[in-house]
Structure 1
């Protein structure tokens, strides 16, 4: 009840009532991490970083193994107090959840954002020993690899072979885990760049049927206030655009 009521107030733009409901909610149900998460996000939107930090930290005291709260606190600490503070949060979280690939990925990306590629590579190597079959970590490891130039005469054949292999990889990935929206968005982005309109439509139809709910970028976009009632196909396109922009900014 508390969460749904707070969401309604958020959509109406009545911030004080949303805050009141969430504060009352965490008193009544302190072990329900989503209420702490929503309270912290509200304070971040309101430009109150210290109150947001208190919400995330208080939530972790009641839910010490909660990954979303740890990720939100680490992200806030990095923005407000720098990398070292974020490292502490992520390290503590990984000690409690040693196989949580989201925490490892967050640590790796934090190091990359600050130009610490060697530390990012060290973390990646260590985590792949723990989770060698992690799809999101393997994908990140590929992104981190330096480009391998090819002679011009081989580029065309290599591109064709790579496209075919990549398509098979994407098909296998979304078949194994239909709930990860980021995988569908990467697949759709790939088909926009290398496939036909028929292939793009095919991915779209399969994604809509799968109704994905999870994924780093997917959740960030689908849970944004302005996207609260958008259908799956709209979220898919917006996540694909976000991924393209992110890729462009790296160039």
Structure 2
């Protein structure tokens, strides 16, 4: 593991590291913000999953989350959105291949050789973080768009792994929208039954752990009706009795201006859950 960026930020440090990933079979980068409290002892971690075309840089340079992480004493880890490198499969267009891993474990060639972002984010990356940085094993997860899909799915698929989950503008039903249909067909094959394991609307139907879902959605999001369709998650959650707070934000679009406007509320939400989890453990 090699540190390639090290910047002072709100009393803490914004770092970027590069490492060889055994899960993905390539070199990966991740960003980690360590708040000033980390100098005195381990802090809990919020994992942030970014959206299509993004990498580890978008959130740390645009969201302004470090300020709130420093106030609440939590670290933030931002992985890349897909495997990278010359030997990694890619495709035409922004919504498949590099920058578009969809946080699934691919089963189809040529994607299966590298595209195992679920296992990377859930298993390999936290093990690396917890072994090398002053953090605890208390984790929360959040994300935007494709990353919002990832946050919801990873939390629902792994009960007990995360203290809390939230999302901005998530793709809640990838089985029913063009972005998701293209990605799931490529990564998982034509059998739509196998897609259900990666669809938040399907997962809430059988979730044994009723972890509350917090979703913020811009009312003027250009992808609202065609790709995001939060009403489908709302209907599924109501039918399953799964707690969901869906907050429609009039006037806001799909951009990081939207995320920056409400990221403080999300960090506070996760910090409260992480504190209560730590208190329960003690």
TM-score (norm: length of structure 2): 0.28
Of the two structures, which has the highest relative contact order with CA contacts closer than 8 Å and spacing of 6 or more?
Answer: 2
Q: Looking at secondary structure, tell me which structure has more strand per residue.
A: 2
TM-score (norm: length of structure 1): 0.30
Q: Looking at secondary structure, tell me which structure has more helix per residue.
A: 1
